[in-house]
A and B are shown apart, each in its own frame.
Chain A
């Protein structure tokens, strides 16, 4: 339907709200109907010191030390950070740089644990069964201590979202069960298999932010999950104002800002957060982890991971300990030879291409896809000239004009790109998906954003050094004047009195020194 008619219908209330643009990629959700399985223990676990957005953690264990499952092995440094816990019992084998799931193949400091196979758990935390009567600040500290970060993929520390700020009252909690990425089904399985845990987690969060209203958002292609969630809701008496809303299947429906608009008809202003319009948005997996942290007293050491792709004979969902090597997981599913296979961390639309499978599952790992070289490269064919067909603007959920932005980024016209709202691009990839010329638009946008960020840093640096040099010049000038004044005051005894009155500057050497001190005091 033409966008204009849709907008009109939405305004008149004839139609539910719906974000602009979007695409309908092939679903490939082959693992949706298979029950999730617990992953058998591996022998080695690698825990990177940074699995969240924010500053990295620092290890608090020594090599050779024995650890238990759920034991804190690295503490958070700084506010925007959460600790890391041992996924199983064992011995610290080494603490060194190890590769993380990142397209560059880069490594960061990591703790490697050799599992002892006993899987003994640490029992320090007390379950908080009576969370209804517990201070939200305590619950929030529990969520932080347990290492929770957004499991949808963005890994933003969860406790920060659960803040109670008198300026921004949360009206609605949105549970994101959209999972619009092709192939991925981990949130789908979570909703089917752990509906009660998710609802309990939701109840805890609603208590924490003091709201009674919540929406559980599910895409149309997961009708069974919507049914299960509705049934679970009906069985509870504390969630009268919680609704399950089924939204049309359209990528990127699960993107936070787009989802909030689809559900509420309100937009999160540029540069603002959902909390500014009274919305708290969390992924269903994170919500279950909140329940486990509070009621089960369990740190985040396990998550649901989809293993799929056209090179995987037995796709499915595994409950995987964080730190498990991907090569081991692929091996469990019958993939051992990686020649002619490309591995993706996450879904095909926003996931990262990995260089090798020797990286661990981290908190953001919602899926691991193994794609055959031929089918994978089909999406990355030779770039051609833009024919300005405008399909990218039609697909853009942020209503940008991607083809103009690409021209600007490619020709380094960054100021113009910024004015054309480059930073409102959410990098969902819808533009590249529809481009008939196979232009990797998102790639150019990342380049542009990176260059602008670099320029900003350089500008700040240049500004600082300019100030330093100006101050130095000023000081030199003052010293010069002070010297001149001193000389004059010496000469003064010989000069006529009238001339002294004419002078505007400091008249005596003491004055000059005092002034100088004053000036210095101001600047330093």
Chain B
């Protein structure tokens, strides 16, 4: 049989599988830090999410009569890992499973599978969980709770009990071990009329701790350092380009700088915004998700700026303390429009836009 094959007859060797694997590798510093900070709890959460995502993907593929080989493209595993890293350490097992199923089914497969989803699957699942279980999704524990008996996160059986039966299993009161996140704390204090600087003082907030990851938050978002290492790896491997992370972070910084200069009591300083919450994780790993972000460089900058404005606005004026994931999802909706209007100028044409 002669198969008609069209040129080119050479290929660079890139594959979806390798691209996804590169992102998983880039998340390894953050993953290791999360395990260091939250012990077995983080590991259990990550494994549960990844396995549930893979299993859900397999079931979906089977139901749709598609080849199971798609499982090997690493995208489901990556979604699981990303989702896990955005969850608080005390997330119970069943919530992790529900989130993973949401991510794969509602975030990805209902649109037709990999490449067709409008929203970032991990982020959409995270938002569904936040809206469905607001209490659990905003209950934080201090990282490095190692020598705080009976809550020893490096003790496997303690973590197992905590993961499967919750705080009740350990006969603990949630209030005794939980604490507010820096973003949440500042927001609450601000509503009480306490200036930002004072609120940060009360919290004993330290920029160095935030950079290294010792301030609380979702298991994978705390360490700016680890995430930056991963981001630089992605940039070096050419998995992502600088456009989205740079424009996103720069916009947040600029907005925060302007407004905190005008009204320092009301608006948090740029450094606080950059280091707090899931911003770095979103900027390097969520907003840059190829499927749900614009294709063209100009479009990516527009996308990044949009994410930045929304993140800062939601954090500063919205009901939720954190706005990074909402803003990325909102900007995901605008991607087809951005792609249409931000095409580059074609060789030999005056303008790239010819409608």
Contact = CB atoms under 8 A, between A and B. Distances in A.
Q: Do A and B associate with each other?
A: yes
B65 interface: no
Interface residues of B, number: 42
B31 to A, nearest CB: 22
Nearest to A418: B354
A267 interface: yes
B354 A419 contact: yes
Nearest to B19: A436
Interface string A472-500: 00000000000000000000000000000
B295 A355 contact: no
Contacts of B14: 391, 434-436
A90 interface: no
Given A399-B347, A419-B355, A424-B348, A389 B290 contact: yes
A351 B7 CA distance: 6
Given A25-B12, A401-B295, A350 B349 contact: no
B115 A387 contact: yes
A437 interface: yes
Given A349-B10, A385-B114, A270 B349 contact: yes
B19 A350 contact: no
B73 interface: yes
A379 B10 contact: yes
A378 interface: yes
A320 B328 CA distance: 61
B73 A384 contact: yes
Contacts of B352: 399, 421
Nearest to A381: B11
Contacts of B4: 103, 353
Given A387-B19, A393-B344, A401-B339, A442 B10 contact: no
Given A421-B354, A442-B7, A436 B18 contact: yes
A429 B7 contact: yes
A269 B10 contact: no
Interface in B336-351: 339, 343-349
Contacts of B5: 353, 380, 440
Contact of B8 (A20, A348, A420): A348
Contacts of B242: 2
B205 interface: no
B116 interface: yes
A270 B348 contact: yes
Interface of A: 2-4, 19-20, 23, 25-26, 103, 182, 257-258, 261, 267-272, 342, 344, 348-353, 355, 371, 376, 378-381, 384-391, 393-394, 397-401, 403-404, 419-421, 424, 427, 429, 432-438, 440, 442-443, 446
16 contacts: A19-B347, A348-B10, A349-B7, A349-B8, A350-B8, A352-B7, A353-B9, A355-B2, A371-B9, A376-B9, A398-B346, A403-B295, A404-B339, A429-B8, A429-B10, A432-B8
Given A348-B9, A385-B116, A398-B347, 12 more contacts: A2-B241, A25-B10, A379-B9, A387-B291, A388-B293, A393-B295, A393-B344, A429-B10, A432-B11, A433-B10, A438-B11, A442-B8
